Amino acid sequence: MKMESGKWKVEELRAGDQLSLTGRILTGRDAAHKRLIALLDAGLPLPVSLKGQAMYYVGPCPARPGEVIGSCGPTTSGRMDAYTPRLLEQGLVCTIGKGQRSPSVSEAMKAHKAVYLAATGGAGALIATCVKACRVVAFEELGTEAIHELEVEDFPLIVAVDSLGNDLYELGPERYRRLYYDANQA
């Protein structure tokens, strides 16, 4: 399924769906998330609007001469779990990373009609070919952990947690067992 950022149809996505994302997304890792939450706690405005946005958990490597970006593989999403519910409250509709999310994040996804998309770990160089533009939009002093805006084209992703709270990391092993293990035991 093809999807364009900014035109999210999160209610149509289901855990296990494969999609190809085109459009603009934000990046952010631990340090940027900590800063965003500190601003919220202080009652200050965020440096970027999160409303309707996707946040890709990545600290992109510097680009080589003539390239848009260096390797940009996903960071383990669980590291952002403490921050994610608050950012979903700010209108974030999608997070992108690798690995399972906590039950509290899955519940917050349901409550705020958001999704979590999984990117393939270990494929940072391949993912970089999907990035057509990159610019720092906040916290430049954090270097690779600054918030960047990426323009992506045909970024391959899998819906890991849908807006109903269905979690592929829980459903997948059960589906596999039913399809392969149980069938071979008959």
pLDDT, tens digit, 9 for 90 and up, residues 111-170: 999 999 999 988 899 999 999 999 999 999 999 999 999 999 999 999 999 999 999 998
Contacts of 91 (CB under 8 A, 6+ apart): 49, 50, 51, 52, 53
Residue of 183, 159, 150 whose CA lies nearest to 93? 159
Domains along the sequence of the chain with CATH:
2-185 (3.20.130.10)
Tens-place pLDDT, residues 141-154? 999 999 999 999 99
Determine the average pLDDT of the residues in 38-58. Answer: 97
- Is 177 a residue whose pLDDT tops 90? no
Looking at the predicted structure, is the pLDDT value of residue 25 above 80? Answer: yes
Decide: 27 and 169 in contact? Cβ < 8 Å: no
Give the confidence band of 46 by pLDDT, cuts at 50, 70, 90. Answer: very high
